Amino acid sequence: MPKTARARKKTAAPARRTGARHPQPTTVRIEPARPGDARDYFRLLLTALPDEPLPTPEALLSLPPEQFTHGPALCLVARDTRTGKVVGALIGGVPVWIDENPLTNQFTLPGVLLGALMADRIAGIHAIGVDPDHRKQGIGRALITTAEQHFRDAGFKLSTLNHTPDLTRFYSRLGYHSSPQLIILVPGDHLFGEQAPGYLMAAKPIAPRVEVVMLPQAPGPIASGLFRDCTLPPGARFEDGRLVAP
Ligand SMILES: CC(C)(COP(=O)(O)OP(=O)(O)OC[C@H]1O[C@@H](n2cnc3c(N)ncnc32)[C@H](O)[C@@H]1OP(=O)(O)O)[C@@H](O)C(=O)NCCC(=O)NCCS
C-alpha cells in the first residue's frame, strides 16, 4: 500500500464548552471512508455542495488507494468512536480548475505543460461537511489538518479550496489566505491567476520555502516557491498590474 494511502488516525479534541447551549463533545477518528459509509459520506458532502454533481458514491469509495485514499481522490470521514457513525466528510484531490483552465494546457515549460507541473504541486479540498449536531467541536479542523497531511505526504506543496465569504474566518484560523483571485508565480516570472466566481479562493503553503505573499496593489495573494528557482525576489512590488522586481 503506498505511503499516502495508509489509514491515519487523528482524534478531534473534545469540545471545551459543554453547557446546555453547546453540543455534547464527540470523540472522533479521522480515517479513509469505507464503501459502507457512502450514504452518510455523500449526504454530508452535499451540505457543502448542494448543486454539484458528485460521482457515484459506492463506485468512488470502492476504488483502491493510489495517489490518495481512493484512486485520485482523498475521501476522509470523521467517525464517532462510540457509535461508529460518520459525523464529518471531506473530499479532495487535484483541483479541477488546473485541468479546466485553458492556459494550463497551452503554456509549456521546457517539455512539460504548466498544468502537469501544477497538478504535481497543488492539491485541493473540494468539499467538507460536518453533521449539524456535531459542529463547533473541532471536527472540521481535524478533517482539514488530516487532509493537509495526506497532501504533504504525497509531495504537494500548496493546499487550496474555494469557500463562501462567511467562512473566511474559519479558514484563516486554519492558516489559509482568502481572496477573489489566487495568483501563482510560475517559471519565467509569469503570474498565473485563477478565480472562482461567487467564491473566494483560499491557499495555504504546506511545504518548506513555499509562501503565500500579500503584495500591496496585487489583485490577490501570490503563491511563491512552488517551482524550482521561482520565488518572489525580496522587495518585489506590484505596479500598474505588473510585478516589478527591484
Ligand atoms: C464549515 C464546517 C465544515 C465547520 O466544521 P466544524 O466542525 O463546525 O468546525 P470546527 O469546530 O473545527 O471549527 C474550527 C473553528 O472555526 C469556527 N467555525 C466553525 N464554523 C464556522 C462558521 N460557519 N463560521 C465561522 N467560524 C466557524 C469554530 O468556532 C472554531 O473556532 P475555535 O477554533 O475558536 O473554536 C461546518 O460548519 C459545515 O459543515 N458547514 C456546512 C457545509 C459547508 O459550508 N462546508 C464548507 C464549504 S466546502
What is the residue-level pLDDT of the chain in tens, covering all 246 positions?
333 333 334 455 444 443 334 444 569 999 999 999 999 999 999 998 766 666 677 889 999 999 999 999 999 999 999 999 999 999 999 999 898 887 877 777 777 888 999 999 999 999 999 999 999 999 999 999 999 999 999 999 999 999 999 999 999 999 999 999 999 998 887 888 899 889 999 999 999 999 999 888 888 899 999 998 889 888 888 888 788 877
**Same domain for 86 and 48:** yes
Query: Based on the structure, what is the number of domains in the chain?
Result: 2
User: Strand 86-93 and strand 74-80: pairing?
Assistant: antiparallel
The pLDDT, as a whole number, for residue 18 is: 36
Which residues have any ligand 1 atom within 6 Å of their CB? 47-48, 127-130, 135-141, 163, 167, 169-170, 173
In whole angstroms, what is the distance from residue 108 CA to residue 114 CA? 6
Q: Residue 113 falls within a domain, yes or no?
A: no
**Same domain for 143 and 25:** yes
| 215: containing domain | 157-246
Q: What single DSSP character describes residue 12?
A: P
Q: Which of 170, 172, 174, 200 to mutate to test the pocket of ligand 1 (most atoms within 8 A of CB)?
A: 170
Give the atom of ligand 1 at the shortest distance from the alpha carbon of 136.
11
Q: Which of 167, 174, 200 to mutate to test the pocket of ligand 1 (most atoms within 8 A of CB)?
A: 167
**Same domain for 194 and 166:** yes
Domain boundary among 102, 135, 155: 155
Question: How many angstroms is it from 185 CA to the middle of ligand 1?
Answer: 30
pTM of the model: 0.87
Give the atom of ligand 1 at the shortest distance from the alpha carbon of 126.
48
**Same domain for 62 and 48:** yes
Q: Residue 108 falls within a domain, yes or no?
A: no
In whole angstroms, what is the distance from residue 41 CA to residue 61 CA? 10
Q: Residue 207 falls within a domain, yes or no?
A: yes
34: cell is 469505507
In whole angstroms, what is the distance from residue 227 CA to residue 224 CA? 8
Give the atom of ligand 1 at the shortest distance from the alpha carbon of 129.
39
**Same domain for 177 and 140:** no
For ligand 1, atom 26, which residue shows the shortest CA distance? 170
The pLDDT, as a whole number, for residue 52 is: 66
